[in-house]
Amino acid sequence: MIRLNNYETIYILKPDITENKNLNLVNTYKALINNLGGQNIFIQHRGRRHLSYNISQYYDGIYVQMNYQGNGLLVNNLEKALKLNNNIIRYLTITN
């Protein structure tokens, strides 16, 4: 049996993204986590917030937090997908 760790991933979307596109991205990443063996997926929309410093000419961003259980391979694949998405300006994954 593979031991699953608790992870929290937060990513920041560009502020000009539509609500529909935001929901599509959330569902895409939720399905990706599920397909890679992730469990207990909990997603929170943190809303639009002002950034402490500008990132790629943006002063605001839309924050999305994902809590889930998985392994290191899942996290590597998820972060690769986040890095390749042009609508995401920053992301961070930590273990709980």
At 23-40, the pLDDT tens digits run 999 999 999 999 999 999
Do 85 and 25 form a contact (C-beta atoms < 8 A)?
A: yes
Instruction: Give the pLDDT of residue 9.
Output: 97
Q: How far apart are CA 40 and CA 76, in angstroms?
A: 18
Whole-structure pTM value: 0.91
Distant-in-sequence, close-in-space partners of 25: CB < 8 Å, separation ≥ 6: 13, 64, 85, 87
To which H or E segment does residue 1 belong? none
**CATH number of the domain enclosing 72:** 3.30.70.60
Ordered DSSP codes for 40-71: EEEEEEEEEEEEEEEETTEEEEEEEEEEEEE-
| Mean per-residue pLDDT of the chain | 93
The residues that bridge with 10 in the sheet, in sequence order, are 65, 92
Domain count, the chain: 1
Domain containing 29 equals 5-95
